[in-house]
Amino acid sequence: MAHLLMIESWVGAMSSLLPRAIHESGHRFSFLTRDLHHYLRAAPSHPHPLLAADNVLTTETNDMPALLSYVERMHDVLSFDGVISSCDYYLATVATVAAHLNLPGPDPQAVERAYRKDLTRTTTRNAGVPGPRFSLTQDWPATAKAAAELGYPLVVKPVDLCAGMHVREVRDEAALREAFLALEAFPVNARGQERVPTVLLEELLVGPEVSVETVTVDGITRVIGVTDKSLAGHPWFVESGHMFPARLSKTDQAAAIDTAVAAIEALGLDSAVAHTEVKLTEDGPRLIEVNPRPAGNQITELVRRVTGIDLPSVFTQLAVGHQPDLRARETGVRSAAISFLLPPHAGVLAGIDGVDTLAANPDVVGWALKPAGHRAGEPTSNNSYLGHVMVTSPDADARARAEQVVNTLEVRYAE
C-alpha cells in the first residue's frame, strides 16, 4: 500500500474520481491545501471525498520554498511514496515537490510547458507540430497591432487559466479591446495565484475538435482513444458534451493521434497521463492544447465504461512509480457520452423540470443537477454547468442519446 500526498484538487468530478481511484488501487492519501474552506463550500450538505484522506494538512501551497520546507517535515513523519493533484494550477508544483523528495513523477519543466499555453505554442511550433498562427502580447498597443497582422476573426486566450475561462472569439478591434480589458481585470486566479499577464492570440480554426487520451511511460506514448467534443455559447467555447470513442474516419483519427503524440514528445512529457485537444481542419490537424493530467468533464468515466481502463487509477500508479495496466476489457458498451445542461442566462434557479424521467431511462447511467436556489452565471465557460447526463450505448450513438435526454430538461428561474 502506497501513501500519496495530494496537493490541492479540483472541486468537480475529479475531486471524487481521484480519491476513489487511489483507494481502489489499494493505496491511501493525505490531502494538503492552503484553504480547506474552498472544499467545504463545494459540498455543504455532505463530507467532501477529499476529507476521507488519512490526514488533512494545511499550509501555503502558493509559496514554493515554504511548501518544500513544510513537505520535507511532513515526509519525515508520514513517509510519502508519491505526490499527485488533479488541479491544473498545481500540476507543476506537484512535479517540483516530487522531484525534491526524489519521488516518481514527470519533469517539472515539461509539465510547466504543457500547462502554460504560451510555452506550449512556442515549444510545439519549434518542433514542427501543426498549430494555429498565433501571437503573444502583453500591453494593449502590442495586442491591437498583433491582431491586425494576424487578421480577424481571432481567438483570445489567457495562457494560464482553465475550463475555457476568458477564451472567446473576437471579430473586430472593439471585441478584442473588451476581451483584453476582461483579462486585465482578472490578475489573480481562483486559487490566489498571480496570473501571467501574457495574452495569446490565435487564428480562428474551423472544424470538429477532439481530444486524444494518452499514457506515456518510459518515453513511449500509448493511445487509449479519441474523444469527440461539442461546443456551445458563441463567442465563448463552452464544452457542451463529449462522446468516447469519437466517430471519425481512419484518416482523421490517425491525424489527431499523430499530432497529439508529436506534441507530447516535443514537450518532453513522460510518466504522464495526457488529454490533448486537436482541431481537424480542412488544411489538416491543428494542436489546440496539451493537458498533462487525466481529462476532466468526466471523460475518464466515458473511457472506463467503454474500455475498462480507469485513467485516474493509471495516474495514481504513475505517481507511485508503478507500471500501469493499460489492457482494455470487454464491457458490453460501444460508446458512452456526457451532455451538459447550460443556463440560458444568469439568475437564481427555481428548479429544473424533467428530472423525474432520468431515473427511469435505461440509457442513463449517471446524472447530477443543481438544486433550486442555485445562482447560475452566464454560460461563458465550463464553470457554468447546471448539471450533466451520462449515457451508454451498445451502439456508436451515445452522443445523440445524451443530447436528446438533456434537451428534455427545462430550467426555471425564480424571477
- Predicted confidence (pLDDT) per residue in 246-277, tens digit: 999 999 999 999 999 999 999 999 999 999 99
Q: With 80 as the cut, is the pLDDT of residue 106 above it?
A: yes
Q: Is the pLDDT of residue 149 over 60?
A: yes
Does residue 199 surpass a pLDDT of 80? yes
Q: Please give the Cα distance from 201 to 158 (Å, whole number).
A: 9
Strand intervals (E) in 49-191: 55-58, 82-84, 134-137, 154-158, 168-170
Written as nine digits, the cell of 350 is: 427555481
Highest mean pLDDT among 51-55, 90-94, 370-374: 90-94
Q: Helix crossing, 64-78 with 91-100: angle to 10°?
A: 60
The fold for domain 132-203 equals: Dna Ligase; domain 1 (3.30.1490)
pLDDT at 47: 65
Q: Is 9 helix (H, G, I), strand (E, B) or coil?
A: coil
260: its cell numbers: 497529439
Q: What is the CATH number of domain 209-413?
A: 3.30.470.20
401 residue type, one letter: R
The band of 174, judged by pLDDT with boundaries at 50, 70 and 90, is very high
| Exposed/middle/buried for residue 315 (C-beta within 10 Å: 0-12, 13-18, 19+) | buried
Q: Average pLDDT, stretch 295-321?
A: 98
- pLDDT at residue 38 in the model: 87
Is 144 buried (19+), middle (13-18) or exposed (0-12) by CB count in 10 A?
middle
d(CA 48, CA 14): 12
Backbone angles phi, psi at 48, to 5 degrees: -75, 140
Q: What is the pLDDT of residue 412?
A: 96
Give domain limits for the chain: 3-112, 132-203, 209-413
For the chain, what's the residue count? 415
Q: List, for residues 12-46, the tens digit of each pLDDT value.
A: 889 899 999 999 999 999 999 999 988 887 555 55
| Structure-derived torsion over alpha carbons of residues 120, 124, 129, 133, reported in degrees to the nearest 10 | 70
Residue 266 dihedral angles phi and psi, to the nearest 5°: -65, -35
User: Amino acid letter at 148?
Assistant: A
pLDDT at 157: 97
Question: Could you give the CA distance from residue 4 to residue 320 in angstroms, rounded to a whole number?
Answer: 8
Does 9 score more than 80 pLDDT?
yes
CB of 71 closer than 8 Å to CB of 5? yes
Q: How far apart are CA 176 and CA 170, in angstroms?
A: 6
- The per-residue pLDDT for 51 is 81
> Which residues on neighbouring strands pair with residue 170, listed in sequence order?
154
CATH number, span 3-112: 3.40.50.20
pLDDT band at 158 (very low <50, low <70, confident <90, very high): very high
Q: How far apart are CA 290 and CA 238, in angstroms?
A: 17
Quick one: cell of 90?
498545481
**pLDDT-based confidence at residue 359 (cuts at 50, 70, 90):** confident
88 in the Ramachandran plot: left (φ > 0), alpha (ψ -120 to 50) or beta?
Answer: alpha
The pLDDT-based confidence of 48 (bands split at 50, 70, 90) is confident
Residue 236's pLDDT is 93
Q: Above pLDDT 90, what percent of the chain?
A: 92
Phi, psi of 179, rounded to the nearest 5 degrees: -65, -40
pLDDT of residue 43: 54
Average pLDDT over residues 128-156: 98
- How much is the pLDDT for 311? 98
Q: Provide the β-strand partners of residue 217.
A: 220
User: What integer pLDDT is reported at residue 264 of this predicted model?
Assistant: 98
Helix (H, G, I), strand (E, B) or coil at 279: strand
Give me the percent of the chain exceeding a pLDDT of 70: 99
pLDDT at 46: 59
Distance CA 182, CA 179 (A): 5
- SS3 per-residue string spanning 340-369: EECCCCCEEEEEEECHHHCCCCCCEEEEEE
Give CA–CA dist 107/160, Å, rounded: 19
Question: In the predicted model, is pLDDT for residue 126 greater than 90?
Answer: yes
Nearest in space to 193 (alpha carbons), one of 34, 74, 381, 36: 34
